[in-house]
Structure 1
Amino acid sequence: MKNVIITGTSRGIGFELAQLFAKNNHNVLALSRNSEPLNNLNIQNITSLSVDLSNESDLKKVIDFIASHWKKVDILINNAGKLINKPFENLTSTDFLEVYKVNVFAMAELTRQIIPFLFKGSHVVTISSIGGVQGSMKFPGLAAYSSSKGAVLTLTELLAEEYKEQQISFNALALGAVQTEMLEEAFPGYKAPVSAKEMASYMYNFALTGNQFFNGKIIQVSSTTP
């Protein structure tokens, strides 16, 4: 039984992933601004906290829970994301800041605060996008989103190096198109070949076993363009 933290659990992949871990007898701390969707399912082993990860007092609630109930985190999945789809000339500095606050700054701060609870064998998995991978195909309107997803890929490599002596693993999954609400925001009307539930199954297995084979790696999980 692992202690698993997942962010962005109110919909899409995170929503499916939290259920999958819980139904396989792992303890899940599900973090999102809207905790109702998971709370309504009333699944044993899921603690769902309503938090804004960019808010310092909300982060304290997370750390207090871990310190009081778990003492140790086996898996952290940084899945929360924000997307703004606008032509570059219409993007403001506020737009960029909104996207980076969720996709980069909140992810970094949550990870930083959880470091004391990570031990040998712990695995941090950050969910990025194929659009953040250097050399991949890029799409107009996604300058803020894709550049933020590129930032967390580099951060993943840096953290793997910094914590390799403690044998804490950091990897990133750069996802292609998955049929979620966020995909509809990025590519209205596009139908992805992979469902949120199917991708959650892949991520579940990777989070449990991927650190046996990878550390500091960017795994591209994409069969289509976009």
Structure 2
Amino acid sequence: MSKNVVITGTSRGIGFELAQLFASGGYKVFALSRKQNSIQQLDNSNITAISCDLADESSIIESVEQIEKTVDQVDILIHNAGMLVNKPFAELSKSDFVNCYEVNVFGVALLTQKLLTLLHDASHVVAISSMGGIQGSAKFPGLAAYSSAKGAVITLFELLAEEYKESGPSFNTLALGAVQTEMLAEAFPGYEAPLQPKEMAQYIMDFALTGTKFYNGKTLEVSSSTP
């Protein structure tokens, strides 16, 4: 039976590639993002584009309702969407922190919560975090809001894995290093990453499909470089 996959942040970068890889493998993909043009232009019958703003609770609820009308279970949920603020700490406002946490932490929590009725004991929920959220890793000026939010989601998923260890689903986090995406260019202008989005997307897909056999409540550092 074909698996049902929900992916956030699919308008560009890794999420855009992930949606295509899963779809080409015959999986049914629900591609959640604020901007839908790029996904819709693919015109892929295995991909359902859903407009979703992870900073808006009502938008998340509407997206889940749309998924519920189509399928009776979700096998894989990949929280790929991210919101980056690159600003010196002295200039960060409370709203900068709130905006960053809304997408990177609160939106992740709420979408997972609302999809619980569709998730089952063998489902795999994967959070895409960052090496910047790993304690003891290299840190970079300007990323206080972003990296602290990425650290928060790591702890959140450790807790969820513990809370649902008897019933499932499984929760794991991938802390990514540098991938040549638009977001990386915003954080590190001029930096050339060793990996392209499609390469990382393939790794994430393989992990999402097989990782529950080996991991639960774990954070894997997926990085060959600094940043």
Q: Taking structure 2 as the reference length, what is the TM-score of the superposition?
A: 0.98
Does the 8 Å contact 1:27/1:45 carry over to 2? yes
- Distance (whole Å) between structure 1 residues aligned to residue 75 and residue 222 of structure 2: 23
**Alignment correspondent of 1:36:** 37
Cα offset, 1:183, TM superposition: 0.2
Unaligned runs of 5+ in 2: none
Stretches (4+) displaced over 6 A:
none
**Alignment correspondent of 2:78:** 77
Cα offset, 1:204, TM superposition: 0.5
Q: Within 5 Å, give how 1:116-195 maps onto structure 2.
A: 116-195=117-196
- Distance (whole Å) between structure 1 residues aligned to residue 30 and residue 73 of structure 2: 12
Cα offset, 1:58, TM superposition: 1.4
**Alignment correspondent of 1:55:** 56
Cα offset, 1:56, TM superposition: 2.4
**Alignment correspondent of 1:16:** 17
Cα offset, 1:167, TM superposition: 2.8
CA offsets, 1:131-151, max 9 Å, x none?
Answer: 100010100000000000000
Cα offset, 1:110, TM superposition: 0.4
Cα offset, 1:55, TM superposition: 1.6
Name the SS of the counterpart of 1:49 in structure 2: strand
- Distance (whole Å) between structure 2 residues aligned to residue 52 and residue 221 of structure 1: 27
CA offsets, 1:98-131, max 9 Å, x none?
Answer: 1011101111100111111111110000000001
Cα offset, 1:69, TM superposition: 1.1
Aligned residues: 226
Does the 8 Å contact 1:130/1:222 carry over to 2? yes
- Distance (whole Å) between structure 1 residues aligned to residue 58 and residue 168 of structure 2: 30
- Distance (whole Å) between structure 2 residues aligned to residue 181 and residue 130 of structure 1: 17
Cα offset, 1:54, TM superposition: 2.1
- Distance (whole Å) between structure 2 residues aligned to residue 222 and residue 124 of structure 1: 20
Over the residues paired in the alignment, what is the CA RMSD in angstroms? Answer: 0.7
- Distance (whole Å) between structure 2 residues aligned to residue 21 and residue 130 of structure 1: 25
Unaligned runs of 5+ in 1: none
- Distance (whole Å) between structure 2 residues aligned to residue 196 and residue 203 of structure 1: 10
